Structure 1
Amino acid sequence: MQKSQVEEKRITINGIGINYKIAGKGPALLILHGWGRGSDSWEAVQVRLAQQGYRVLVPDLPGFGKTEAPKSVWGVKEYADFILQFAEMLRLHRFILFGHSFGGQVAVWFAAAHPEKLEKLILVAPAAIRKEPGPRENVIKYVAKAGSIVLSLIPSEKIQGFLRKVFTRIIGRSDYLEAGEIKRKIMQKVIREDLSELFSHISTNTLLLWGEKDRPVPIEDAYVIKRQLPNSSLKIIPGAGHRIHREAPEQVAAAVLLFLRA
């Protein structure tokens, strides 16, 4: 299967235009991308899984890719509710749910709330547990907030571009500075949500997949979550970081297929 065989489609849910990609035939597998990304970033994995007999759907979550942003400030619950509506509109009665980072956070909520919908669950470095922020996190938060204020006060696009690069280099990410007001507020909300208490309520057979060198969601989180999930297994990809699907798509697809066929 080539990338050209991945279809791009569009539907409307509650007045929001939703873009999604679909490939393959067989059991439905729904992939939820992480923050700052869209369906495009998962195409290499999508194609590999579709080639092995799965119908793989990857939506651009509201506010990402080609999908419109929500009209109000959503939290993880609202994104999980959206996934339920998306699944119902596409008549996905039972399916495999696969979430990465922020998408994994949404998948955790969905799995706890709607276990009857899931065949299996795959969580790739889900950003679902929170710790007390350290000095570095507090500095990043301050610089990101200050940066967005400074950029809004400068009319020159050239100077804005230069300062955006400076702030991005300091905080290590550009998604906060580049987001609109609603999306910034959504980000502020979801990064404070700790879903630790939900893991013990998830009974679905679950694969935890992690990059050995993941920094945004460190490998220590994998062991914490593994202890709390009663029906889970853990696979670590050596040498991979947080963008595991871009760095090691073959290994990600192989680990997922091994889990699904077990």
Structure 2
Amino acid sequence: KDYTAEGYAAALADLIGQHNPDIVITGNSAAGQDFFPRAAAAVNAGLTLDASDFDLTGDGRLIVKRTKYSNKSIATVEFLDTKPMMATLRPNVFKAEESGGAGTVVNATVGLSADDIKTKIVSVDRVESTRPELTEADRIVSGGRGMGNGENFSLIFDLADSMGAAAGASRAAVDSGFVPYEMQVGQTGKVVSPTLYVAVGISGAIQHFAGMGSSKVIVAVNKDPDAPIFQKCDYGICGDLFEVTPALTDEFKKLLSQA
């Protein structure tokens, strides 16, 4: 009942062996990055992680686009004529649309027993939250080292809650002990692609931008007019975050009360 990479990988490899699919895709979540490469290795398949776009060649081979070097370049990967072709997809890069096709759901049975899973789950600590999960959120508010301390992150949480957003953080804020690693957005944290990303007290390091650069709209709040984030955002507010953030929260609350 608990997730294990070897269990998921073995089950998927078994399903691939049963159905011989041409293409297999999953989300680029923490679990997807964990078990999908193992499954690909088990079935000797080609694999590309963190795809931001897909296409097909005339003969049905998969073409994948993915960002490289902290979103500074885009690589186009064309699969050879070997199957299955496997890839993980960055969350929120495609809008959900009604399909004209009629897919079929198949209840499959895999040849997997408890003895095949060598990993033993000792305990599971779950962090309950009423906010959306970072990698799936349509709106995200993140705080950086400019927040000063963990207590001040209440401003981030208040703003996030006022707009139904997830709460994130930069690596600098996490390394400073302000918030837990689960909130980290960036090259060494979670990769997100929300419609709206609000960066509060975040300077805009390349490593952070690598994790949120594909956001549709980026809003930055920072008191330093020379902060790199202002070169990358769509809207910038140069001011004291301890004044700007509560003001934004109040405005969102007013808008929601009028809705």
Higher helix residue share: 1
Task: From the CA coordinates, give the structure whose radius of gyration is larger.
Answer: 2
- Shorter-chain TM range is 0.3 to 0.5
- Higher-RCO chain (CA-CA 8 Å, sequence separation at least 6): 1
User: TM-score under structure 2 normalisation?
Assistant: 0.34
